[in-house]
Amino acid sequence: MFSWLGRTFLACWQPLSRYVRMSKDEEDSSEGENDALMWSRDLDKHSYGEFSFAVVQANEVMEDQSQVETGQNATFVGVYDGHGGPEASKFICDHLFTHLLRLAQENGTINEAVLRNAFSATEDGFLTLVRRTLMIKPLMAAVGSCCLVGVIWEGTLYVANLGDSRAVVGYSFSGNKIKAEQLTRDHNASIEEVRQELRSLHPNDSHIVVLKHGVWRIKGIIQVSRSIGDAYLKRPEFSLDPSFPKFQLPEPLQRPVLRADPSVVTRVLQQSDKFLIFASDGLWEQLSNQQAVEIVHNNPRVGIARRLLKVALTEAAKKREMRYPDLKKVEKGIRRFFHDDISVVVVFIDPEMLEKSSTIPGLSIRGFVDSIGPSKFSIRQGVN
């Protein structure tokens, strides 16, 4: 028999800065010709305000997956930045939210432990899939994904992260000024703190981080230190044979060199918290946290995620002495030489919505794949 709170939670989910702003000519030109590799939902409602959602593809096969699930008094955002192939990010998109709901029902609440356990169940499920398919598709052992999740429930934000996707809050101060605060920690070997953490966890491994062609990589192979998947860097049973030299370790794996336990942050949302930006690292390679929040703050809500992408792509084009309208003509696959797949979700927080029950219908959206429909769950307070 489920507790009252468990049944209640299950019912919860039903269905710029001057120097980065595009010039007027660039903006007009980009509006006049759509980017065939970009998808967006300009503005939709969630329990605590509105959200804007946009994705752009660069790889031959889209490796980013993303989703938004809304319900009465709850909002879920997931950004999954895959590498080595799309299988891990797709698996996460299909399973993590379901695990979260199951665990929330079993525990009668949502908290940091529930989030961590949802990540763990997703990791275990994907490694089981890798094990089952290893004989026919050995490179599944080298597929992985960063994983960023945000859940707003009853006015509290929970954020869990693996890898270098990022969640940033824009909050107001001194009147109408806006300031960025990064909520997540980047798990990337380019950061000295991460390298020190890896060295302390692997004191007898002098090659745990290696500077290769000017880039710090774990075992000389991968930059992110936490992920779902990348099985060959976690368990000896998934080691790849020498026919795959790209994934050969200098010595046999003695213990996992990557982790799947997320960094988790809890934040009670305040009146000063205006919006949240969830995005894969492709956005943050082009824009700083402060630049991104200023773009959101200084422009209309409608289409703001798409605008963030366009500014980021304009910056990427400038680095190659191009204009964004020219970059749009570059085909997927080749486009990866200019920028990464990028997913962006901007979630606005309206103070009046934090203080009252919402009647917003449940909505389930998956980025880029045109999978839009009613969410399977809804939130109703006071259900006995």
Highest mean pLDDT among 244-258, 307-321, 369-383: 307-321
Q: What is the pLDDT of residues 162-192, one digit of tens each?
A: 999 999 999 999 888 999 999 999 999 999 9
Q: Name the residue type at position 324.
A: Y
β-strands 209-212, 215-218 pairing? antiparallel
- Print burial letters for 291-306: b (CB count within 10 Å at least 16), e (below 16): bbbbbbbeeebebbbb
Residues 345-370 pLDDT 10s? 999 999 877 666 666 778 899 998 75
- The full set of domain ranges for the chain reads 4-188+224-373
Do 240 and 249 meet the contact criterion of CB atoms below 8 Å apart?
no
Q: 3-class DSSP state for residue 341?
A: coil
Q: Residue 86 has what pLDDT?
A: 96
> Could you tell me the pLDDT band of residue 373, with boundaries at 50, 70 and 90?
low
Residue 118 CA neighbour count, 13 Å, CB half: 34
pLDDT, tens digit, for every residue of 71-80? 878 899 999 9
pLDDT digits (tens, 9 = 90+) for 17-44: 333 334 333 444 444 458 899 999 999 9
Distance of CA 224 to the CA centre of its chain: 14
Q: 38-46 and 49-56 as β-strands: parallel, antiparallel, unpaired?
A: antiparallel
pLDDT of residue 103: 94
Task: Pull the structure tokens for residue 239.
Answer: 């080691």
Do 50 and 43 touch, CB atoms closer than 8 A? yes
Tens digits of residue pLDDT in 99-112:
999 999 898 889 99
Sequence-ordered strand ranges (E) for 201-248: 209-212, 215-218, 228-229
Write down the pLDDT at residue 175. Answer: 82
Q: How confident is the model at residue 131 (pLDDT cuts 50, 70, 90)?
A: very high
User: Per-residue pLDDT averaged across 50-54, rounded?
Assistant: 96
So what's the pLDDT on residue 375? 60
Contact between 150 and 77 (Cβ < 8 Å): yes
| pLDDT at residue 3 tops 60 | no
Residue 183 is predicted with a pLDDT of 98
Structure tokens at 68: 């938004």
Mean pLDDT of 254-275: 95
User: For residues 161-189, b (16+ Cβ closer than 10 Å) or e, as one string?
Assistant: bbbbbbbbbbbeeeeeebbbeebbbbbbb
For residues 40 and 51, give the distance between their C-alpha atoms in angstroms, rounded to a whole number: 11
Output the pLDDT for position 30.
43
Residue matched to tokens 């997927």: 332
Average pLDDT over all residues of the chain = 87
Across 293-310, average pLDDT: 98
Contact call for residues 226 and 262 (beta carbons, < 8 A): yes
Residues 213-242: tens digit of each pLDDT: 899 999 999 999 999 999 999 999 999 888
Q: How far apart are CA 190 and CA 111, in angstroms?
A: 31
Class of domain 4-188+224-373: alpha beta
Q: What percent of the chain has pLDDT over 90?
A: 73
Q: Where is average pLDDT lowest: 43-52, 101-110, 243-252?
A: 243-252
First-to-last C-alpha distance (Å) of the chain: 12
In the predicted model, is pLDDT for residue 337 greater than 50? yes
Take residue 60 and report the two structure tokens written for it.
């031959």
Distance CA 81, CA 164 (A): 9
- Give the model's pLDDT for residue 357: 60
What is the pLDDT, as a whole number, of residue 376? 57
Per-residue confidence (pLDDT) for residue 361, from 0 to 100: 72
| Environment class of 360 (CB within 10 Å of its CB; exposed 0-12, middle 13-18, buried 19+) | buried
How much is the average pLDDT of 256-285? 96
Report residue 123's pLDDT band, with 50, 70 and 90 as the boundaries: very high
Backbone angles phi, psi at 64, to 5 degrees: -80, 140
What residues contact 28, with CB distance under 8 A and at least 6 apart?
none
274 Cβ contact partners less than 8 Å away, ≥ 6 residues apart = 170, 171, 172, 178, 297, 348, 349
How far is Cα 123 from Cα 117, in angstroms, rounded to an integer?
10
Q: Give the three-class secondary structure for 55.
A: strand
